[in-house]
Amino acid sequence: MAIDYDNIKNWKFDDVTHTYTERDSMLYALGLGFGANPVDEDELKFVYEKNLHAVPTMGVVLAAAFGWARDPASGINYTKVVHGEQSLLLHKPLPAAGTIIGKTHISHLIDKGADKGAVIYQARELFDQKTGDKLATVQSATFARGDGGFGRTDAPPPAAPATPDGKPDAVCDFATLPQAALIYRLSGDYNPLHAEPAIGRAAGFKQPILHGLCTYGVAGRAILKTICGYDSSKLLGVAVRFSSPVYPGETIRTEMYRDGKRVLFRSRVVERDVVVLSNGVATLA
């Protein structure tokens, strides 16, 4: 059954108030593997309360409107929904602790056809409750593979640039922990696909998979280290397309190409030589 265009485009999202602590910021960083080297003081500032900094990509987990697509009133076949794209643009640095207000709306709804599904673009603005400052804009694209054919469509947003071929300007490898998904889920995404072996197998995987947003954060960590010298004020945004899942314990290699005030990148799993993030764009200060 096709979804209703007007219903989705005008979906009413309640504002989300999200209070987080320094412990939450440290836990998010640990989920991405920060602190793997206990004498690396550049990473220590993201996992230790002395002079604590928030990892820039943490904005994607703050004040999110989780679960709305599971509502039967949406008409969405949630069993066929996959996370397709993710972007974050920071307007001000994220505080290491605070209260954030998230305001969400549907920005684009694309009908790809009855047998091709639909793409739902969701935008969220993050505001600091204390100051009223706009901190970030978060956007994601969801592929609703079973819900095309409703007959009305928006023009798609601009396409992400392709990642160049050839030798990258920089490469950074990060090995993920076997328990990485179990740590990362404590930042808010408790989908059992990332924890229960039986559910992982039922979904067609050999085991639970890593959260796509964890892979996204590991790529952000690679850019933060390699391009920004761990200066979080230099990384303003990260946008990616999800290409393939990662198994916890695998090594994520991020290949970076400098392009003025941005970095084009892709990430691949070294052990299987599979691209897991494509069309990546990092925006620099």
Nearest to 55 by CA among 235, 280, 185: 235
Active site residue 42: no
pLDDT at 139: 97
Residue with tokens 């314990």: 249
Q: Which of 3, 100, 183, 209 is catalytic?
A: 209
pLDDT digits (tens, 9 = 90+) for 58-115: 999 999 998 899 899 999 988 888 999 999 999 999 999 999 999 999 999 999 998 8
Q: Which of 91, 189, 199, 259 is catalytic?
A: 189
177 and 126 share one domain: no
pLDDT digits (tens, 9 = 90+) for 179-230: 999 999 999 999 999 999 999 999 899 999 999 999 999 999 999 999 999 9
59 and 93 share one domain: yes
Contact predicate 268/171, CB 8 Å: no
Active site residue 166: no
Active site residue 209: yes
Q: Which of 148, 194, 211, 252 is catalytic?
A: 194
User: Of the residues 127, 144, 161, which one is the last residue of a structural domain?
Assistant: 144
Q: Which of the residue ranges 51-55, 147-151, 169-173 would you say has the lowest mean pLDDT?
A: 147-151
pTM of the model: 0.95
1 pLDDT tier (thresholds 50, 70, 90):
low
pLDDT digits (tens, 9 = 90+) for 125-137: 999 999 999 999 9
Q: Output the six-digit token pair for 210.
A: 């890593």
Helical ranges in 96-251 per DSSP H: 180-184, 197-202, 212-226
Q: Quick check: 167 pLDDT over 90?
A: yes
Q: Output the six-digit token pair for 257.
A: 């190409």
Assigned domain for 14 exists: yes
Q: Which of 59, 212, 217, 237 is catalytic?
A: 212
Active site residue 113: no
Return the CATH number at 267: 3.10.129.10
In sequence order, what are the residues at sequence separation of 6 or more whose Cβ sits closer than 8 angstroms to the Cβ of residue 185? 191, 194, 195, 211
Rounded CA gap, 252 and 221, in Å?
11
- Name the domain count of the chain: 2
Give the residue numbers spanning the domain of 23. Answer: 5-144
